[in-house]
Amino acid sequence: MTDILSLDRPARPASRPAALQEMPSLIGLTREEMGKALAAVGVADRQVKMRVSQLWHWLYVRGVSDFDHMTNVSKDMRETLKRHFTIARPEVVEEQISTDGTRKWLLRFPARGAGRPVEIETVYIPEEGRGTLCISSQVGCTLTCSFCHTGTQKLVRNLTAEEILAQLLLARDRLGDFPDRDTPPGTIAPAEGRKVSNVVMMGMGEPLYNFESVKTALLIATDGDGLSLSKRRVTLSTSGIVPEIYRTGEEIGVMLAISLHAVRDDLRDMLVPINKKYPLKDLMEACRAYPGLSNARRITFEYVMLEGVNDSLEDAKELVKLLKGVPAKINLIPFNPWPGTNYQCSSWEQIETFADFINAAGYASPIRTPRGRDILAACGQLKSESERMRKVDRMAFEAMMIANHGADD
Residues that bind ligand SF4 (CB under 6 A): 141, 143-145, 148, 150-151, 205-206, 239, 259
Q: Pick the closer one to ligand SF4 by CB: 88 or 286.
A: 286
Q: Pick the closer one to ligand SAH by CB: 55 or 271.
A: 271
| 118 contact, one of ligand SAH, ligand SF4, none, CB 5-8 Å limit per kind | none
Q: Pick the closer one to ligand SF4 by CB: 141 or 319.
A: 141
| 177 contact, one of ligand SF4, ligand SAH, none, CB 5-8 Å limit per kind | none
Positions touching ligand SAH (CB under 6 A) are 145, 147-149, 202, 205-206, 237-239, 259, 302, 304, 333, 335-336, 379-380
Q: Which long-range contacts (CB under 8 A, 24 or more apart) does 175-180 make?
A: 175/124, 175/131, 177/63, 178/62, 178/63, 179/61, 179/62, 180/62
Q: Pick the closer one to ligand SF4 by CB: 227 or 256.
A: 256
Q: Tell me the CA end-to-end span of the chain in Å, nearest whole number.
A: 13
Strand, coil or helix: what is 392?
helix
Q: Pick the closer one to ligand SAH by CB: 4 or 148.
A: 148
| 35 contact, one of ligand SF4, ligand SAH, none, CB 5-8 Å limit per kind | none
| 56 contact, one of ligand SAH, ligand SF4, none, CB 5-8 Å limit per kind | none
Supply the DSSP symbol for 24: P
Q: Least distance (Å) from ligand SF4 to the CB of residue 396?
A: 24
Q: Which residue is nearest to ligand SAH (CB)?
A: 380
d(CA 87, CA 28): 10
Kindly provide the b/e burial profile for residues 215-232, where b requires at least 16 CB atoms within 10 angstroms of the residue's own CB: bbbbbbbbeeebbebebe
Q: Pick the closer one to ligand SF4 by CB: 45 or 266.
A: 266
| 275 contact, one of ligand SAH, ligand SF4, none, CB 5-8 Å limit per kind | none
Host H or E run for residue 291 = none
Q: Which residue is nearest to ligand SF4 (CB)?
A: 151
Neighbouring residues of 43: CB distance < 8 A, sequence distance ≥ 6: 51, 77, 80
- Catalytic site residue 121? yes
Query: Which residue, 405, 388, 407, 398, is CA-closest to 139?
Result: 388
Q: Least distance (Å) from ligand SF4 to the CB of residue 203?
A: 8
Q: Which of 148, 244, 379, 398 is catalytic?
A: 379
C-alpha torsion 271→277→279→284, nearest 10: -110
| 333 contact, one of ligand SAH, ligand SF4, none, CB 5-8 Å limit per kind | ligand SAH
Q: Least distance (Å) from ligand SAH to the CB of residue 206?
A: 4
Q: How far is CA 189 from the centre of its chain?
A: 22
Q: Least distance (Å) from ligand SAH to the CB of residue 98?
A: 16
- H helical segments located in 222-312: 242-247, 265-271, 280-288
Q: Which of 121, 206, 244, 302 is catalytic?
A: 121
Tell me the Cα Rg of the chain. 22
What amino acid positions are annotated as catalytic residues?
A: 121, 379
